[in-house]
Structure 1
Amino acid sequence: MEVLIVGAGGMARGIGLRLVRGGHQVRIANREPDKAADLAAELGGSAVGEPLDSAAGAEVIVLALPYEGSREVARLWAEQLSGKILVDISNPVDYETFDGLVTPPGRSGADEIAAAAPGARVVKAFNTTFAGRLANTGRLDVFIAGDDIEARKLVAGLCEDADLRPIDVGGLKHALALETFQLLHMKVQGEIDGNWSTALTIAP
């Protein structure tokens, strides 16, 4: 499957490595094409880098950007994204205090991104995983929320291919809980000496 990852940072790298290992074709798009090309070269396989121009051709688009950037890309590409699966991995956290989300009360970042691209099939995923853990091998839990059941199943399949355990939590309304979980996960990193390498897992 062809997956377009928007962004060239740590999360783009981690998700890209997993997908390439799983046999998928990965495109990296970034406002700085050199960074996209460098990451694609690191990923290997059939990965390619390109400017941040278009979502054309991709079956799945992963917004591997901070919340504000993801919402802006969704707005700019709204028409192109109609009918496509749009994966939001962002956490709209107040990074000055780590004491709340920056979205309106009762609204998740995924809700805001879905509103910016109303025709997209928005799926929340990967927001509870840290970049460093994703880039390594080993099975991690990925919580998935979205109103389109088939879109959730497809993203779950990508996770399985990437040696990740998908956990389907239901509709997009649950994205707010996932973002709140990750806010707390981030907030306690210093207290637990987590070094941004811990993982949220449901253990038997």
Structure 2
Amino acid sequence: MATITIFGQGNMGQAIAGVFQAGGHSVDFAGKEGPRGELGQVVVLAVPYGAVAGIVTANKEALKGKIIVDISNPVNFETMDELLVPAGTSAAEELAKLLPEARIVKAFNTNFAATLASQKVAEEVPAVVELASDDEEAKGHLAAYIQAGGLQTVDAGALKRARELEAMGFLQITLAMREEISWTAGFALMK
């Protein structure tokens, strides 16, 4: 059983907690002030992209060596026209620069909370979580924890693939905000 700390108790944080708890793992939530105790083996940053740097600054020493899961989509929500990271990079890669001694995995950013909770896209196709990381062992552990909770996973490759995952997340959010798709919809992966 893994211990998992989730920063953020919103819809995504709650849905991700449900996945891990269904797999038999222990979940603790942390607020802006940090965790109540020690951080878990896995730390999920289920917060808006703009909040990540503050969490990292406040918890830098405690995050060393942990599997850090970045779920963010660094969308400029004021304009809905661009990503907030420089071209040729991703939020996950920027996080890896801030935490060089952590094990960064991009995951959950192409899933809406409703699809994680129901484990279905559009209430009919099994939901799949894409993972990208340069740390194969961390990615493997996280995939096993997610699969134990009932979801499928797919290895999207190295951490630089987070660029494409974040573009997918951006497109999906844009479509939902324009009411082209519902918040229970999304991208499905058929194998």
Shift, 1:170, TM fit: 1.1
Q: TM-score when scaled to structure 1?
A: 0.84
Are the aligned partners of 1:77 and 1:117 in contact in 2 as well (CA < 8 Å)?
Answer: no
1:125 aligns with 107
Residue aligned with 1:78, SS = helix
Paired with 1:145 and 1:19, the residues of 2 have a C-alpha distance of 18
Are the aligned partners of 1:145 and 1:169 in contact in 2 as well (CA < 8 Å)?
Answer: yes
2:40 is aligned, of 55, 58, 67, to 58
1:169 aligns with 156
Q: TM-score when scaled to structure 2?
A: 0.90
Are the aligned partners of 2:41 and 2:67 in contact in 1 as well (CA < 8 Å)?
Answer: yes
| 1:94 correspondence with 2:76 | yes
Q: Which moved more, 1:145-154 or 1:110-119?
A: 110-119
| 1:115 correspondence with 2:97 | yes
- What is the number of residues matched between the two proteins? 185
2:49 aligns with 67
Structure 1 pair 72–5 and aligned structure 2 pair: CA distance change class (3 A): same
Shift, 1:55, TM fit: 7.0
Paired with 2:99 and 2:36, the residues of 1 have a C-alpha distance of 14
Residue aligned with 2:61, SS = coil
Are the aligned partners of 1:89 and 1:126 in contact in 2 as well (CA < 8 Å)?
Answer: yes
Are the aligned partners of 2:119 and 2:151 in contact in 1 as well (CA < 8 Å)?
Answer: no
Residue aligned with 1:132, SS = helix
Shift, 1:158, TM fit: 1.1
Q: Which consecutive unaligned segments of at least 5 residues does structure 1 have?
A: 32-50
Are the aligned partners of 2:103 and 2:135 in contact in 1 as well (CA < 8 Å)?
Answer: yes
Paired with 1:54 and 1:114, the residues of 2 have a C-alpha distance of 25
Shift, 1:181, TM fit: 1.0
Highest RCO, 1 vs 2 (Cα 8 Å, sep ≥ 6)? 2
2:144 is aligned, of 157, 161, 170, to 157
Shift, 1:60, TM fit: 0.5
Structure 1 pair 96–22 and aligned structure 2 pair: CA distance change class (3 A): same
1:34 aligns with none
Are the aligned partners of 1:19 and 1:158 in contact in 2 as well (CA < 8 Å)?
Answer: yes
Paired with 2:9 and 2:187, the residues of 1 have a C-alpha distance of 24
Q: Which consecutive unaligned segments of at least 5 residues does structure 2 have?
A: 121-125
Question: How big is the alpha-carbon RMSD for the aligned residues of Structure 1 and Structure 2?
Answer: 1.7
Structure 1 pair 156–80 and aligned structure 2 pair: CA distance change class (3 A): same
Paired with 1:69 and 1:91, the residues of 2 have a C-alpha distance of 12
Structure 1 pair 188–131 and aligned structure 2 pair: CA distance change class (3 A): same
Shift, 1:63, TM fit: 0.6
Shift, 1:188, TM fit: 1.6
Describe how 1:181-200 pairs up with structure 2 within 5 A. Answer: 181-191=168-178, 193-200=180-187
Overall identity of the aligned pairs, in % = 37
Q: Which moved more, 1:62-71 or 1:133-142?
A: 133-142
Paired with 1:200 and 1:176, the residues of 2 have a C-alpha distance of 16
Runs of 4 or more, structure 1, over 4 Å off, are none
Amino acid corresponding to residue 104 of structure 2 in structure 1 = V
| 1:19 correspondence with 2:1 | no
Paired with 2:118 and 2:57, the residues of 1 have a C-alpha distance of 32
